Chains A and B, each alone.
Chain A
Amino acid sequence: MNTHHHHGIGRRLENMRVAVTGGSAGLGLALVAELRANGASVAFVARTRADVERVARQHGACGIVGDVAKKADIHPIALQIIGALGGLDVLVNNASSLGPVPLALLGDTDCEDFAQALETNLLGPFRLTKALLGPLSASARSGKSATVINVSSDAARTAYAGWGAYGASKAALDLMSRVWSEEMTQWGVRFLSLDPGDMDTRLHALAVPDADRESLRHPDEVARDWVSRLVVAWRDPRAAREAQASSA
């Protein structure tokens, strides 16, 4: 197993149970690796069986084949996550779709491509969060720091030509995170909407094929950042909850 190689931190997240969607590439894969390196138990979801099996082997994580954009896949995914981990403390809704590829102006966007962005970036996270709300709230009741991370983007706040489907879906995801937070803070489940910035990933290459890759953040760096936030909350769930309550 490719773990315990980062600066002797292999136990910081011991007993934390985490699920990551879109876990076979980009930020999702970096999160799986970083979480495992910190000792968390990890289940991840991706669409392609060969990729799932490779990443599962490489990182000692439980790989689940499924598509969060498909309604019928959600309950089987949730069941396998809980079957593998015996509960859930953190859900990372990371799987994302750009909508039309290459990016298109709204006037040139097929409705089906727009719908795909909403299914993957908005309805998928809604359905999976709802299906896993029981285990997440049980984690919170037992005093742990239960957290849902939704991956956001600056395209959720700024109107960029060509990013209409993606940006609209991420803006809706941001608002949904805030409403979830408003409703679930009293039950101890935190919702974070985190923007990783422009990263050197397959998704970014599809969106901006001629980008200067030197100027992009590496997903490993973002994963280290986010996982250290989880470590802080895991050590002191009460402080994390109070911070969430005062920001809600």
Chain B
Amino acid sequence: MIAAAARRPPGEGKLLVLRADGQIDHARRGAWIEHLQHGDLVVANDAGTLPASLRGLHRRSGAAIEVRLAGHRRRDPFDVTELRALVFGDGDFRTPTEARVPPPPLMRGDRLELGPLLAVVLGTLGHPRLVALRFEGTATSIWEGIARHGRPVQYAHVPHPLEPWDVATPIAGLPVAFEAPSAGFILDWRTLGRLVERGIDFATITHAAGLSSTGDVDLDRRLPFDEAYRIPQRTAQLIARVRQNGGRIVAIGTTVVRALEHASTSAGGVSAGAGLATQRIGGHTRLWVVDALVSGTHEAGTSHFEMLRAFAEDATLYRAGAALDRYGYRTHEFGDSMLVERSRLGRSRGTAPRIAA
């Protein structure tokens, strides 16, 4: 399989549908829109993905490093001057993230030479491989350096290096995400046209998705980091109208759920404008805006999986997990998909289930 084949055409692959009544259906991935209804609204994250992997040198020790840009430090997702980043020692994506060698000890003031970019470590952030750093130069020169030297974050399960176009969704716009909002790979322009033909509206938000996993158990427990988002006026207006008319809000990806729920108002709508999503969504969370989620399949213990617990009972998710295993669903960024409707059942919960463990 070549890299391009890692990301399949949106029509290929499998879809597990978890209905509001707890029933499980299996379908072709391309059939997800058959499960929507006239009057629903599909909301996707149109963030583009930064080529967040930067190779270079830790100047004080001379050690080879890989820096993975992981999140913004400032509220403005367009500010690339100061960022959070993970630092790895030598090695590449063929080594699973959790097996990568640590970087040399990082200290405030250390200089990192990353191709044409020069960065200064501002300090570690509670973990030896998580740092705040500042790039030197003008915004123009920093964008040029990231654009020319940065590579997409790679995955050990994809045998060949991913190219920038492999991690761009068809609607990708502002480059503010650090990892692709991969649920958006289910979209293409033909599908968007079919939505409109069926009387289903389409809207976007822009959510600066951070890294989804760091390969470090302690760090992963802190995910997701705070993430900046922006909700256009038109999207807020459509949500209000669709809800008033009894339609459903269908989120493409967990980032959309996080942004819309963070911006939710007591009236069940969302506020337009910029925000910083700080909350975690899990079994305890009451959803105010989103009625269904289209997403990849996620393993128990990840923040993505925790979010599913806001949509469905643990017992239902346990059955879904068993079905994913039994039917050989692929569970990574370029894998199969799930459509999870918000449950209409009671909200009794047991212990955390495991999905495709």
Taking Cβ atoms with an 8 Å cutoff, the residues of A that contact B are 62, 64-65, 75-77, 79-80, 82-84, 86-87, 131, 133-135, 137-138, 141-143, 183, 186-187
Contacts and interface: CB of A to CB of B under 8 A. Distances in A.
Q: How big is the B interface, by class? A: 20 to 34
A84 B204 contact: no
**Secondary structure type dominating chain B contacts:** mixed
A124 to B, nearest CB: 15
A137 B170 CA distance: 10
Interface string B181-210: 000000001001100100000011010000
Contacts of B189: 183
Contacts of B170: 133-134
B101 interface: no
The listed residue with most A CB atoms (<10 A of its CB), out of B146, B174, B234, is B174
B78 A86 contact: yes
Interface stretch (B25-33, B67-75, B137-145, B342-350): B137-145
Interface in B293-345: none
A142 B232 contact: yes
A68 B170 CA distance: 20
Interface in B77-133: 78, 80
B172 interface: yes
B264 to A, nearest CB: 21
Given A62-B140, A138-B46, A141-B234, A83 B80 contact: yes
B51 interface: yes
A87 B165 CA distance: 18
Nearest to A135: B173
Nearest to B152: A75
Contacts of B284: none
Nearest to A56: B140
Nearest to A136: B173
Contacts of B146: 79, 83
B56 interface: no
B5 interface: no
Contact of B173 (A65, A77, A138, A187): A138
Shortest 5 CB-CB distances between A and B: which pairs?
A83-B143, A75-B164, A76-B147, A134-B173, A79-B147
Interface string B45-64: 01010110000000000000
B174 A80 contact: no
B173 A83 contact: no
A63 to B, nearest CB: 8
A75 B140 contact: no
B148 interface: yes
B36 interface: no
A91 B192 CA distance: 23
A143 B193 contact: no
B129 to A, nearest CB: 26
A84 B140 contact: yes
A188 to B, nearest CB: 11
A134 B168 CA distance: 10
B161 interface: no
A235 B46 CA distance: 26
Contact of A75 (B78, B165, B173): B165
Interface of B: 46, 48, 50-51, 78, 80, 139-140, 143-144, 146-148, 163-165, 168-175, 189, 192-193, 196, 203-204, 206, 232-234
28 contacts: A62-B140, A75-B163, A76-B144, A76-B164, A79-B48, A79-B50, A79-B147, A80-B144, A83-B140, A83-B143, A83-B146, A83-B175, A84-B143, A87-B174, A131-B165, A131-B168, A133-B171, A134-B169, A134-B171, A134-B172, A134-B173, A135-B173, A138-B173, A138-B174, A138-B204, A141-B232, A142-B232, A186-B196
B140 A82 contact: no
A80 B171 contact: no
B48 A186 contact: no
Contacts of B50: 79
A72 to B, nearest CB: 9
Contact of A141 (B78, B147, B169, B204): B204
A134 B46 contact: yes
A86 B147 contact: no
Contact of B174 (A75, A76, A86): A86
A143 B238 CA distance: 14
B144 A82 contact: no
B235 to A, nearest CB: 8
Contacts of A133: 170-171
A87 B77 CA distance: 13
Contacts of B163: 75
Given A79-B147, A82-B174, A131-B165, 20 more contacts: A62-B140, A75-B147, A75-B163, A79-B143, A79-B146, A79-B175, A83-B146, A83-B147, A84-B139, A84-B140, A84-B143, A86-B174, A87-B174, A133-B171, A137-B171, A138-B204, A138-B206, A138-B232, A183-B189, A187-B192
A236 B201 CA distance: 24
A58 to B, nearest CB: 16
Nearest to B143: A83
A186 B174 contact: no
Contacts of B203: 141
A117 B161 CA distance: 30
Contacts of A141: 203-204, 232, 234
Contacts of A75: 51, 147, 163-165, 168
